[in-house]
A and B are shown apart, each in its own frame.
Chain A
Amino acid sequence: MGNCVNFHFDIDGDNFTSAGEASVRIKKSLREMGFTPDVIRRVSVAMYEGEINMVIHANGGTADVNVYVDKIEIILADNGPGISNIELAMQEGYSTAPDNIRSLGFGAGMGLPNMKNYTDDMKIESEVGKGTTVFMTVNV
C-alpha cells in the first residue's frame, strides 16, 4: 500500500455556514502535495457534499482522508438518523432537506449523486437510528 498521509476532521453539526472548512483545507493540502486540479476538484467537491449532508441531516460527524500515491480515500461517519432507503436517496432530485436549508441553495437532491459521480468508488453503510458511514475513493 505504501506511504499514507492521514487527515482527521470533526465536522461541527451546529454551524451550517462554516460547513466546508474541512474540504477547503483538504483542497489546499492536496494542492501543496502536487495533485492535479482534476483530482483535487473531485476529492474536495465529493467531501464538501458529504460535509453538508452531515450538517443538514446528522448533527455533524467525522471526516477522515487517507492520501496515498495512487488514490485518495475519504471516510465520512456520523451518528445521525441513518438512511432508510439508500437506493432512493441516491436518485437525483430526491431530498429530505428542510425548507430553511433549501433557501440557502441546498436540498436539490444532488449531493449523493455528485459524490458518486466525482469518485471512482463509493459505498454507504447505514443503519436507521444509529448512523451512516460513507466510503469514497478517488484514483489518482
Chain B
Amino acid sequence: MEKRVTFRGWMLPLLLIAPQVFISAVFFFYPAGQAVWQSLFIPDPFGLSKQFVGMGNFEFLFSDRHYRASFYTTAIFSILVTLASMIPALFLAVLADRLIKGSGVYRTLLIWPYAVAPAVAGVLWLFMFNTRVGVVSWYLGQLGYDWNHVLNGSEAMGLVVAASAWGRISYNFLFFFAALQAVPRSVIEAAAIDGARFWRRFFTIVLPLLSPTTFFLLVVNVVYSFFETFGVIHTITSGGPQQATTILVYKVYSDGFVGQDLGSSAAQSVVLLLVVGLLTVLQFKFLEKRVHY
C-alpha cells in the first residue's frame, strides 16, 4: 500500500519543482544538448569554421580499435573500483557496528579519507608507489618484488583502482553503517536464540535487509568510477602504460583538451552519457526487483 500526498491544482507543485527543473536545464540539459549538437561536426579549435559530418565522428570512433578497447578497460576498472570500495566498507561497517565502546572514534577516523580530493589521493598513492622513492615499492623491493607500474599495465591498473577506491570506502562505510543501525535488533536476537551464529545471521538476515542501501551504493559507485576518477588517472598514469588505464572519460579529456579535437570529444561524451544511462536503467530493471524495501 502506498501513501500518496495529493495537491489541489497544478500551480503549487509546478512552482515547487521549478528550481530543480531550472538547475537541471541550465547545468545538464543545455550542456548535454550542446554536446549532442557538436558531435555532428568537425570544428576547428578556434571556432572559425566547422564541417558537418553527421554520424562521421561516431563512425570514426567505433572503427578505432583503441576506442573499443577503452570500453573493456573501463568495464574492468569500474567493476574493480566498485568491489574494492564496497566490500571493505561493508566489512568495516559490520565491525564498527559490533563495537560497544569507541565506535564514534572509529567512525570519525574512517570517514577522513573521503575529505581528500581524488587528484590529491592520486598524488599520495603515486608517492607511496613511486618506482624510485616510494615507501611501498621499496618494501616490495626488499621482498624481492620489482614494482614498476610505469611499464606494467596490471600494476598500473591495480594502483589506480586502489587510489580511486580508497577514499570511496569512507563514503560507502557511512551508508552501510547507518543501514546496519536500522536493522531491527529483535530479528537478530530471535535468530540468535534459534542458534544461528554470527556469519549465518549476517548472510541470511542482515545482508538482505541491507539490499536497498547496497543497490543505491552500487549505482552511485559505478557512476563515480566512470566520471570522478579522472583526477586519479590524470595524476598517476595519464592513461598509460600503453593504454592500460585509458578509461572512457580520460579519452574525452585527452581528445578534447590535448588534441583539440572537439568533434570527437563531444561524440565520446554522448556515448558515455548513453552508456551510463543504459547501465542505470539495467540496474533498476533487473537488480531492483531483488531489492527488499
The judgment on whether A and B are partners is no
